Structure 1
Amino acid sequence: MTSSPTPTDEEEVYGVTTLELFFDLVFVFTLIRLTDVLIGEFTPLGVFQIVLMFGVLWWMYGGYAWLTNMTAPRTTPHRLLILAGMGGFFMVAIGTPTAFTGGGGLVWGLGYLLLVLAHVVLYARGNPNILRVLPANLLAAVLIIVAGLLDGGPVVYALWTLALVVPIVQPYIVPAGGLFSIRPEHIVERHGLLVMITLGESIISVGTGAAHAELDAGLVVAALLGLALAAAVWWTYFTGDDERAEASLAAADDVRRVQMTMFGYFYAHIPLIIGVLVAAAGMKKAVEHAWEHLKPGTALAIAGGVALYLAGDVLFRRVMRIGPSGIRLGAAVAALATVPLGLWLAAAEIAALILVLAAAVLLERRHPRRSRTDHPDH
């Protein structure tokens, strides 16, 4: 197997570029479209649709994140190809609401094809080994395009499922060791900023909900509670875990580092990111009706979103071995237990979730982080 190119010392350390942040803004907008569909169609079939679309999208986002981890987009051709990828995500966002029931599926598939082509051209400039995985990525795009040409039915879901399975099995067919050289400082910063942008959506949701309600003291309190909940989530992620994760990745050998990045920043961040977005979608309605009872779907979206975020954070910490996870796992269970409060009063559920997250952080500070200094290979 041909190893990936070794970065020079000059290229070894660089921060996330503004173009990458721009790219992530478009990507998060695409995810927002998914959560909007979920809230509007909160049924088992609607959830299945979101799982399929998010799984396919997250795979390609990871591909772009790992691509810019290998080389910064500094040249004009490189930047133009990144912008083309952004166009692909925007097409996907436009096609999302009718991806399974109308013409959106074809637009979705063509947008995904654009993502695949821009990505492979970019990656091949630095590492031609990426061409080995191109057939699998192209197959996923073709499957979605074909599904978009059909008029609904079980075959559409079968094709989408195959499009999701193809990238999942791809690493086992084409090992990642020859394709990637992970820079810990960049991969940690990139995903941290993605979490920040996602949290920003929760702030926008609070503001959007407040804009549709009468301005009074109750609305101000509700909006501040929404902000406090977003801040509590921020506190659990950005108060040292990112620095410890970077140190853990840096201490690992090349093969182990790729594995940790795959399971910590790809798989574990799936529930983490989805959880924040689902909670944000629920907050949009909760702030508007903060002093009323919520519908079961909205109450579950807020509490379930926070619980899902915490579950992803637990998995992330375990993969990176950067801290105990029992307290946060208990907090996830406690978050789900706040749903009945939302069925009584929306503000009560939001306040309870803030207390759950604050209690988790305080309990962790009172107990030593036994695995903080564990080496990943121990």
Structure 2
Amino acid sequence: MPMPASDAGVLRDPTSPQHVTFLELFFDLVFVFALDRVSQGLIDDLDWLDLLQATVLLPAIWWIWMMTVWMTDRLDPERASTQLTVIGIMLGSLMLASAVPDAFGHRGWFFAGTYVAVQLGRSLYLVVVLRRHELRRRSMRTLFWFAVSAVPWLLGAASSERLRLALWALAITMEYVAARLDFPTPRAGRSPISEWGLAAAHMSERYRQVVIVALGGTIIVAGTTFGASDFGLHSVAALVVSFAVTGLLWRIYIYRAGELMCEALARSANPAHLGRSTAYTHLLIAAAAITVSVADRLVIAQPLARPNAAWTAAIMAGPVLFLLGRARLEYTVFSRVSYSRRIGLAVLVAIAPAMIAVPPLAVAAAMVAILLGVAAGDVAGWRRNPSIPTPPRAAAG
């Protein structure tokens, strides 16, 4: 894509190292807090309504992170205006995250208004700063769709709790579907994802970092919950088991597929398309980490509580979501899904009925055993049949 001389200082220099900057690491700090707020809402009152609300709030928070990552992937992060914009988005995200616990209560206007302001503000900045570049058209289409979705966001803020959930679900669905369809805009056409481009090394590193951020949230919850316990034998055992789950999730994620993601993006015929697909994969992994945080709180606070079907589902859901996300990532990198992933998921489904009859600590210990088996299977499978990254010709998403 041609780049006018006047835009030379706006976009990243494709010949320079595509490393993650300190600004981006600083930006991620607020999302440790944001993900913790979502998990806290589930911990405080674990029911189906709270779960549905979390399925709206998490994609909204993720969308802010993802759109900002794509912005810093193309724009020069050392440019003062870009840095100020990212810091402004960070402040807005902090304010939004603070409202998460009461987003469906009396903080609805604050949450929706901040979300709309962040998304429109970033898009408007891109329209202005790219005024002499072809990418400006994509930013204008993005601005259009965030303006359209602002209507149900703001209407939802003025509605009852149930109607708010429906309107906000409509708003976030509109945004994701519009992105999937390349932001079709009246009289302006579409913005093929391929025209945005992608720095493979930068994007893969950002995805790995957000996994660390998400898993870091589980560590915070585990440590905080244990700190409030009696430090008895069962509490110590629960902490060890909870930490083992997080450690195994990290190991399973990074082993080969997470490690070789950069090479897969670089090898892809359409790296931007594959990068977008990978973004949705990591949303699923972030959801898994939030669920694990909820499980950690339950297991450490009451390791020997009477069996409870809802608690059992919460403890098992994290590993299930994670293995599904990891399977999708593996397909993105290698165009296949290993047997260890399939067997692990099958075993989780098979033992679910039996887990309803045992206390939380026993359920969590079973998760450790299954994840340990998956991790060992990954190592054994790789030693038998090492593979090079072979991304699919057309990544879903």
TM-score, normalised by the number of residues in structure 1: 0.89
Cα deviation, 1:227-276, whole Å, max 9, x if unaligned, reads 111111110011222232211111123xx211111112x22122211011
Counterpart position of 2:126: 123
Amino acid at match of 2:84: L
Contact 1:144 1:159 (C-alpha < 8 Å) held by counterparts: yes
Cα deviation, 1:170-192, whole Å, max 9, x if unaligned, reads 13123333651111111111010
The structure 1 residue matched to 2:113, chosen from 102, 110, 113, is: 110
Correspondences of 1:367-378 after superposition (within 5 Å): 367=381, 368-369=384-385, 372-377=388-393
Give 1:113 shift. Answer: 1.9
List runs of 5+ in structure 2 lacking aligned partners: 185-189
Give 1:74 shift. Answer: 1.6
Counterpart position of 1:363: 377
2 CA distance for matches of 1:96 and 1:9? 38
1 CA distance for matches of 2:385 and 2:283? 24
Give 1:3 shift. Answer: 9.3
The structure 1 residue matched to 2:41, chosen from 37, 43, 57, is: 37
The structure 2 residue matched to 1:14, chosen from 2, 18, 22, is: 18
Counterpart position of 1:270: 283
Counterpart position of 1:297: 310
SS in 1 for 2:260: helix
Structure 1: which 4+ aligned runs deviate by more than 6 Å?
Answer: 1-6
1 CA distance for matches of 2:87 and 2:13? 26
The structure 1 residue matched to 2:175, chosen from 162, 167, 172, is: 167
Indicate how the Cα distance of structure 1 residues 273 and 22 shifts in structure 2: closer, same or farther if over 3 A, else same. same
Amino acid at match of 1:355: A
Contact 1:116 1:137 (C-alpha < 8 Å) held by counterparts: yes
TM-score, normalised by the number of residues in structure 2: 0.85
SS in 2 for 1:133: helix
Amino acid at match of 1:170: A
Correspondences of 1:1-378 after superposition (within 5 Å): 8-11=13-16, 13-100=17-104, 102-124=105-127, 125-126=129-130, 127-129=135-137, 130-154=139-163, 156-171=164-179, 172=181, 173=184, 174-177=190-193, 179-253=195-269, 256-264=270-278, 266-321=279-334, 324-336=337-349, 337=351, 340-341=354-355, 343-367=357-381, 368-369=384-385, 372-377=388-393
Indicate how the Cα distance of structure 1 residues 134 and 375 shifts in structure 2: closer, same or farther if over 3 A, else same. closer
Give 1:361 shift. Answer: 1.9
Amino acid at match of 1:329: R
1 CA distance for matches of 2:155 and 2:53? 16
Kindly report the root-mean-square deviation, in angstroms, between the aligned alpha carbons of the 2 structures: 2.6
Task: Answer with 364-373 or 73-82: which moved more.
Answer: 364-373
SS in 2 for 1:259: helix
2 CA distance for matches of 1:206 and 1:57? 22
1 CA distance for matches of 2:340 and 2:123? 42
Task: State the identity as a percent.
Answer: 22
Amino acid at match of 2:72: T
Indicate how the Cα distance of structure 1 residues 111 and 179 shifts in structure 2: closer, same or farther if over 3 A, else same. farther
Task: Give the total of aligned pairs.
Answer: 372
Give 1:213 shift. Answer: 1.3
Contact 1:338 1:353 (C-alpha < 8 Å) held by counterparts: no
Amino acid at match of 2:53: Q
Indicate how the Cα distance of structure 1 residues 170 and 76 shifts in structure 2: closer, same or farther if over 3 A, else same. same
